[in-house]
Structure 1
């Protein structure tokens, strides 16, 4: 067996992104402990529950759900699903995101009250984190509180108006992220789309009875998170950046 020497970083299979998430254990004003409700505009998201217990609450055009989370459970959902993690004790999750790089590049809009969604600058000012240590945690909890308030209004409106209750929020979310779309497209083209194209090329080669891509095979690794303890929307994140 040869000694392993890591090669240059490459995208994970399928161009996914992974991070370890320790869901916030601070109670919000509505009595629930957990993360900040938000939506992704272009990425699907999946959870593999490592430990603890809790739930994920969702709201989309088909209505609201609450799915229990226990160790070993797997759940996933597509863009447009407003979601909020609830921590009932020690909830830790391996989070899987499509289009690696897009979530970190801003593919998320929190469910703030409408007055904070009027334009991109107002939204960014309301959601920016400040300070270090405990001060930064307090800042994360303050923006969570705004999102919890807006989420409650959306749920109430859905009960009376149905799917159309989400239209204004979705439209505002689109306006907020539009300035980022050129960067998102570049990240997608260099990540998930490139990998899909490479698979197509490999299939073409195999059909022709050749396999030049096999000669380029190598093992890659990240022995530790690229960044640890970051204040994410749902909790503290250990992030693995395969582009680092």
Structure 2
């Protein structure tokens, strides 16, 4: 409880425009101190939340996707932590998983534990580009939140509301990443006030010059207008970034 309270307090302070930048980094470092305990708490199986979720339709406004590799526990930790931390979970209409190496036994276990999850159609031997292109082809709604593979969430947040609000506020943007600087680990940093923009539902955010490779939300129509995802590319996100420059 105290870690969650300390984390929330630090985030509230960091959201205040009046806080000097020289104090922000110290606050960000204190925020990250609480993260290991919060990661652990968010990894527990959320049985009540799971019981309230049902499989959605192809045309749901918001679809959440992830890649399930051979390590079933890693997939469960991604699902569990996202369900715990996404405080506007009711806005998610559909969960879609691409199987990238699960055993038949593990796939059956995931189906049993997470009955709301739908497995995407795939072909054996699909590379990263083919996996992402196949996911995109099975999404009919506007917002696509791709969680990637092996990520764990720890901070409670209105993820759907905030990410979609950035897309609404920035009509030239087709993707919004979750991690500042597309970080893959704790950095103890946050954006300087001079870098940030704000909108009522999005809060504080930063425009970047590169496409994020970590968890991110796409506006599907804008993604398609930018050329979409190349199914033959080994790193379709990097290739998309080159085309978007």
Query: TM-score, structure 1 length as denominator?
Result: 0.26
Q: Which has the larger radius of gyration?
A: 1
Larger % of helix: which?
2
Larger % of strand: which?
1
